[in-house]
Structure 1
């Protein structure tokens, strides 16, 4: 068999090359072809993945956040449900300039992906051996926020790029700007620019001035840390950095920077913030905002399971209301009560506050911050720090028992003298009652102050064998897809010994399996009811915001006895 083959002549344009160079060039070309094919395959794979996402979602209003009690009963909605959509026409031009300077300088020039910035970020990440730089454009951030692409990996980045290119082909730059501002988180429970403008400054987005625009853009990168409600000076610093960046880009000059810095920032007053319908919901909303920021949850459509027991909450509110009406009837008042007051002072009506804690965990089962939320949003459950009177007696006993002294029922002064005021105060603080205290023997007559939340915590400490629970309102937070984003971990700290807690709790009168103690202070200005049940501790305060005598001690005791009977059944 013949094996003859024609001789293959080397092309003239390669004849001058050494053999090693021809071999290198050959493999380089083949490698280039292989890389191009692989690159095309990767592009096809990720564009195929990106095609599975519905781009209509970009322009939709994210779902509202629903709040439930511990048994699954819906209580209300969180902040995101009040989100309002804006269009490009609503956005001040200065805000757009600030956004470009701070987040995406070449927004109007690139096709959604800033490949120059991406290359710089890639080199930096390789050097750092970590994902320290992202080079995300506004369009990429919009894609990520819409479709919840959070994982830091090459796979996530490639999918994000493919989605962004699709998004840019579907929406105009102005639409992308509006959708981006409608979705991002601005802290304080504010999802979207319109809610942020109304929450922080009490105005619409279109009415924002230059100083407010620069501040809102400045806090985007750290919405919790830089929230003006939380730290106004930190927000001002971010505002200054935004203005400096705008100047560096030539978007404004030095005179404009100084003019904007000099503009006053007028935040919505504390008493006008929030739009909840009850003290309990407002308290949940505040805790939710902190968790969302601390855990970096920026999504809508969440399911929030609270610790509240809706049935007990309703019962506590109803029983309190009926008991207050009994006091008013005894005095011949009608609600709202316009009590006797000096000329020139504001009339008042009788107020109340109450907290029930789950003894073992500190979960808040019920919270009443006042008589009428629509009339006054001041939460007295955490803010009304009033004299305890005889309600302080259990902690005098706890201090004595903790130090091995005799507990003399019905004789708090004699009991307290065995250890002195300073030691009694120290033990009371360990149990959650922070005062102020009188450092004389008057302390043993009840000259100590606390809020209803503190008193409930102190009671729970006695009922929990001396372990002090930390009060909390939110059990869990779940994403729309069912993924659990947050789960509370109850926290307890040792306060006093188990035997001391038991002896102190024994001072509370046993009644139908429930231990109840309380009464009016010597001045008759405050009335307390302390209830320690099998599973929960309840502290109730009744009085006027501007302290004044409520009623006779006998009438108050009668009302408190009636309330104790209601709660004990």
Structure 2
């Protein structure tokens, strides 16, 4: 009987395994070569570490109100660089509990964390967890772009490994915290703490620390300025995770939540004056050129008055009369008599439409332009008691009519202004000449394109609200020219002054007697004329304006302390339903000005404290056709004396 060879199966098995081992070895070698090739390839295209780590960022502009309150930060906002040792312990713990629980245990690339995130995402059917470590995120923030690709991810891992060899864990965490984006333009944890809580990162509470940590996931969506409710909900999630990890006891967490939410530790100042901020920022280049420096811009805006104006605009536009009359938009400008802008509302809702109707919209002012026409008439020799016929008039084939359709016969300039009589304004314009009217407007700061036509006297040339209000400021201050302005000073981050407003404006542009005469006419307009709805029991003067077919309605007026202009209408030029300047605009003007003057003493109008004008002259009836469009220039001496107050 033959002997069975027991070694045969083993030899056969060995012959089968040897090729498998061989090919596995070959595959491993090629895998190593391929990995080495990837490392070499992607490593060769890594960014220059020294250049990438250098501090590079766009400068920011912080805009402050007159009282120092921050109105807005435009651009990237950075705080001070902080070390982990300088922060309250709750802050790094909150970040680690939320972003990378194994931060102090891994080598920059966490296989366990990736596996855990993969399982969680598969169970949820969507991405609910990320596998990137804090070190990887620090590498991405320092060196890489937001691009999503295999190449960038591989480079991120390589740079993370390099960071782990180069820096300690606390240094890596500090790099991450100082570079991360926290929302609302704030880069770095210190900037975020100052932005949201008005304190440095070294002084935040446990609740605030948890909120900052929660912002890292969705900074634009969940920051406490844009979405306070979402920020608070996310904070509660972070505190729950801190309990899970053992960084907080349930009792400490409960105390932190109670203290934080009860103390309203979120900085909740509403954003106001956004139209004004845009207007100011657009002018910075005219005063200071510092493209590589952070800027601090101090402005003239009064936050209380701005809030009041915005609230009144919202209230009026939401009212029944406005809705029924088809009024969709409004704009408001409030100036000091020297031209400083105290409030500016460019529309109903900045976030829906940032177009500034107070500064950038040019609309027909209608009769609100008449004070400029009457000033030209006074400079041509007329007086407040000069008389003209309120009767049908025709100029070069054009026949304007009064709003009421009625005619009053022989009236004074004061009566004509108060009742906003169109025929008399046209006659005054023809007497003075269109060129003189344009000259007066230019002296008052009007830069708009004024068409030299007979209808100029009725305000048919478009003008901006801020310019027309600035023109009225010259009447309010007794005849001195102003440019509406919003910037008081500009400094860089080191405190060096780049611009500080100085000087007293344009000097005298109106004779005191002329400024007083037109002011007295405008006093009558609010006492007994078309502007009665604006009267709130103080010494004030003002004028209504309504453009053709009720497309625009205005009221512009002043007290001794403030000059304000109001416009209402529609962006698409749709006519309103019988809305005049004496209606909604005058009511809105009165609501703002009455509240603004609530704590101010009564003061007489400055123009009316000037010496009285000369005695009125007799009736003047110009030869209409012969004088049409012809300017009557006074002598050089007369012009000099009117300008400089003789």
TM-score (norm 2): 0.46
**2:142 maps to 1:92:** no
2:32 maps to what in 1? Answer: 36
User: Which of 6, 10, 16 pairs up with 2:12?
Assistant: 16
Shift of 1:200: 2.0
Cα deviation, 1:342-388, whole Å, max 9, x if unaligned, reads xxxxxxxxxxxxxxxxxxxxxxxxxxxx9933x64753696262699
2:60 maps to what in 1? Answer: 65
1:428 maps to what in 2? Answer: 326
Q: Is the 8 A contact 1:88 1:177 kept in 2?
A: yes
Shift of 1:160: 0.7
Per the alignment, do residues 189 and 547 of structure 1 end up closer, same or farther by CA in structure 2, a change over 3 Å counting? same
User: Which of 252, 257, 262 pairs up with 2:253?
Assistant: 257
SS at match of 2:76: helix
**2:140 maps to 1:144:** yes
Aligned pairs for 1:384-533 within 5 A: 385=312, 425-426=323-324, 428-429=326-327, 431-433=328-330, 452-454=345-347, 457=357, 513-514=461-462, 521-522=531-532, 523-525=534-536
Shift of 1:96: 1.4
Cα deviation, 1:131-186, whole Å, max 9, x if unaligned, reads 87541111111111122421122111101111111122222111112121111122
1: CA distance between counterparts of 2:125 and 2:149? 12
2:596 maps to what in 1? Answer: 546
1: CA distance between counterparts of 2:56 and 2:211? 24
2: CA distance between counterparts of 1:208 and 1:524? 51
2:300 maps to what in 1? Answer: 372
Range 118-127 or range 29-38, more displaced? 118-127
2: CA distance between counterparts of 1:426 and 1:199? 42
Q: Is the 8 A contact 2:309 2:345 kept in 1?
A: yes
2: CA distance between counterparts of 1:459 and 1:258? 51
2: CA distance between counterparts of 1:209 and 1:201? 10
Structure 1 alignment gaps of length 5 or more: 1-10, 69-75, 286-305, 315-369, 393-420, 436-449, 465-502, 556-569
2: CA distance between counterparts of 1:508 and 1:132? 66
SS at match of 1:16: helix
Cα deviation, 1:425-461, whole Å, max 9, x if unaligned, reads 34533x42499xxxxxxxxxxxxxx984238649988
Per the alignment, do residues 96 and 128 of structure 1 end up closer, same or farther by CA in structure 2, a change over 3 Å counting? closer
2:114 maps to what in 1? Answer: 118
Q: Is the 8 A contact 1:84 1:194 kept in 2?
A: yes
2:49 maps to what in 1? Answer: 54
**2:85 maps to 1:188:** no
1:164 maps to what in 2? Answer: 160
Range 56-65 or range 173-182, more displaced? 56-65
1:562 maps to what in 2? Answer: none
Greater C-alpha Rg: 2
Cα deviation, 1:245-265, whole Å, max 9, x if unaligned, reads 111112222222212112134
Q: Is the 8 A contact 2:42 2:154 kept in 1?
A: yes
Per the alignment, do residues 273 and 124 of structure 1 end up closer, same or farther by CA in structure 2, a change over 3 Å counting? closer
Per the alignment, do residues 91 and 508 of structure 1 end up closer, same or farther by CA in structure 2, a change over 3 Å counting? farther
User: Which of 219, 225, 230 pairs up with 1:223?
Assistant: 219
Per the alignment, do residues 273 and 138 of structure 1 end up closer, same or farther by CA in structure 2, a change over 3 Å counting? farther
Shift of 1:13: 11
Shift of 1:234: 2.3
1: CA distance between counterparts of 2:216 and 2:118? 23
SS at match of 1:263: helix
Q: Is the 8 A contact 1:434 1:454 kept in 2?
A: yes
1:469 maps to what in 2? Answer: none
Shift of 1:242: 0.9
Shift of 1:554: 10
2: CA distance between counterparts of 1:530 and 1:195? 48
SS at match of 1:257: helix
SS at match of 2:208: helix
Q: Is the 8 A contact 1:508 1:515 kept in 2?
A: no
Shift of 1:33: 1.9
Shift of 1:114: 1.1
**2:199 maps to 1:203:** yes
Cα deviation, 1:204-254, whole Å, max 9, x if unaligned, reads 222212121112112221223322233333222212111111111122222
Q: Is the 8 A contact 1:188 1:229 kept in 2?
A: yes
User: Which of 98, 110, 119 pairs up with 1:102?
Assistant: 98
1: CA distance between counterparts of 2:160 and 2:555? 55
Shift of 1:197: 1.6
Shift of 1:424: 6.7
SS at match of 2:148: coil
2: CA distance between counterparts of 1:257 and 1:128? 28
SS at match of 1:224: helix
Per the alignment, do residues 19 and 266 of structure 1 end up closer, same or farther by CA in structure 2, a change over 3 Å counting? same
Per the alignment, do residues 67 and 197 of structure 1 end up closer, same or farther by CA in structure 2, a change over 3 Å counting? closer
Q: Is the 8 A contact 2:313 2:330 kept in 1?
A: no
